[in-house]
Amino acid sequence: MHIRSYEIADRLYDPLSLGEDFPVFGGEKISIGSSQNFLHRHNVFEVGYCYEGCGVFIVDDRVYPFSSGDVSIIDSGMFHIAQSSANHSSIWAFIYLDPYRFSASLAPGSYLHNVAELHNVTHFPLLHRAEHPEISSIVWEILDEIQKHAPFYEISVGGLIASLSVKLFRTGKIVNSSGSSSNNAMERMAPALQHIAMHYAEQIPMSILSELCCLSDAQFRRLFHLALGQSPQSYLVRFRMVMSASLLSSTTLHILDIANRVGYSSISSYNRHFKNQFHLSPREWRNLRRLSKHS
């Protein structure tokens, strides 16, 4: 299958229109680099599957590591961006859909109230294959059906999406956002978040971030905390640590090389920050992830 380069228009809101008979759009494999993506949000539900590569997924005020086989579940209105590790690309496929319409069309009328309940649960936006193999497999099957366009694939996709909705509901993974962010505040911070995502391994002066958002340093700090519930420096450290966690679990790079790639020249400083974030050393994290992948 042809793989195209992924370039999103430089805008925050990217509305999509779904068909009446088959409310699914997308499904082609795309190559995501480390510098060409833009923070954005949609008016529909988005599901993604990582075929290869590693990096981080930014969703609202949180940062998640990803690797091959992982699944992204993005509700409408969520700001998000996928960012591959430095100097590498990852291969993803995304579909945009209305899961309620699929589930309702397959459920008897007396069960429609239960169908609505399936979509009143907030999920972790990034699900790892090692922890959720069934969900990973279902999303892979959905994409395989869409990509092959075999006879009656729409019926198969509808059934798989209904099954996915049930699996997501049963995970019981409920995540509350910080509660302090709003779309307006996130939009104001988008240029700064974009800059951090592209230059996280560099020294980033506060003045550059505030200037990108057309704010004074004091205004920028206040709005950043309002939108993300943390300081710009804390967010940058968190971003670096999550990116390094992705590299630890998905590559065989030496830990010192990983520290350098995410902006640390001192291994002791990197180890300290990593342990503060994950309560494990980088080596312990890598060993634990390897065990979970082979268990």
197/276 same-domain check: yes
**Beta-bridge mates of residue 48:** 72, 94
Q: What is the pTM of this model?
A: 0.82
**Do residues 159 and 19 share a domain?**
yes
Task: List the one residue out of 37, 42, 86, 28 whose CA is nearest residue 58.
Answer: 37
- Per-residue confidence (pLDDT) for residue 110, from 0 to 100: 46
Give the N- to C-terminal CA distance of the chain in Å, as an integer. 32
Question: Which residues of the chain are under the pLDDT cut of 70?
Answer: 1-11, 13, 34-37, 100, 102-123, 172-183, 293-295
What's residue 150's pLDDT? 95
Is there a domain that residue 177 lies in? no
**Residue after which a domain boundary falls, among 171, 192, 224:** 171
Query: If 0-12 CB within 10 Å is exposed, 13-18 middle and 19+ buried, where does residue 161 land?
Result: buried
Both 164 and 204 in one domain: the answer is no
Q: Hey, what are 215's tokens?
A: 């704010």
Answer yes or no: do 269 and 289 share one domain. yes
Question: What CA–CA distance (Å, rounded) separates 243 from 231?
Answer: 18
Give the pLDDT confidence score for residue 284 in this predicted structure: 95
Please report the pLDDT score of residue 3 as a whole number.
40
Q: Does the residue 157 lie in any domain?
A: yes
Structure confidence at residue 8 (pLDDT):
35
List, for residues 102-133, the tens digit of each pLDDT value. Answer: 665 555 554 444 444 555 555 678 999 989 99
pLDDT (0 to 100) of residue 112:
42
pLDDT in tens, 27-69: 999 998 765 567 888 888 899 999 999 999 998 888 999 999 9
Q: How confident is the model at residue 7, as a pLDDT?
A: 37
Based on the fold, state whether residues 252 and 290 are members of the same structural domain. Answer: yes
Residue-range definition of the domain harbouring residue 126 = 4-171
Look up the CATH number of the domain holding residue 260: 1.10.10.60
Return the DSSP state at 202: S
CA-based torsion, 134, 135, 141, 145: positive or negative: positive
Query: In Å, what is the CA distance from 186 to each residue of 190, 235, 259?
Result: 6, 14, 29
205 & 77 share domain: no
